[in-house]
A and B are shown apart, each in its own frame.
Chain A
């Protein structure tokens, strides 16, 4: 069955970067896109960006200067990196699989990231 499993740190210091890995199973990254969404009490659900099956990326303009998404198809892994984190980046970060369109039937378990010294 389709699964997305996230791994990454829970605590990041201000101005540092966040890296999360999303390891998928039950499908190929060459067939589906993987999106990143975050959720915070203050801002709700925010779409951050996507890496498409072909390897191209689209980012939310609000984050484009500090966000990078890449992948390794052979390892079924997608890599998320956001730079220069501040306190208001504290949120749960999710990876989610693209469906036939840009809606999400499959989600990772979420990574709670706290930005604090």
Chain B
């Protein structure tokens, strides 16, 4: 199984910050990576697929980058509504696997 490691389980942020969340796969996943945002009581919301493709309706302050094993989700100028938990997911091979999540908390 491919292991997905998100280096930080949580960190404190301020409104307006640029935030970078990292995700590392245990092997090359060839950009088959999705990012999700989840708020309490809700199902995950798809933000990005193919490592860099922003889903329709997702604000342009979100972006994804990376290749091989290493991927990044960036949020420029953090807004209140961005406070949530973020997950990466690989879909290069089954079983599909997710990172453990990175929770953003306001300082």
**Could you tell me which A residues sit within 8 Å of B by CB distance?**
35, 44-47, 58, 60-62, 94, 96, 99, 101-105, 107-110
Contact = CB atoms under 8 A, between A and B. Distances in A.
30 contacts: A35-B96, A44-B98, A44-B99, A44-B100, A45-B44, A45-B89, A45-B101, A46-B98, A47-B95, A47-B96, A47-B98, A60-B95, A61-B95, A62-B95, A96-B43, A99-B46, A99-B49, A101-B49, A101-B50, A102-B91, A102-B94, A103-B34, A104-B34, A104-B36, A104-B44, A104-B46, A105-B46, A105-B55, A107-B43, A107-B44
Interface residues of B, number: 20
B63 to A, nearest CB: 17
Interface of B: 32, 34, 36, 43-44, 46, 49-50, 55, 87, 89, 91, 94-101
A108 B99 CA distance: 20
A103 B46 contact: yes
A103 B49 CA distance: 7
A27 B87 CA distance: 26
Count chain A CB atoms within 10 A of each CB in B44, B55, B95, B98 and give the residue with the most: B95
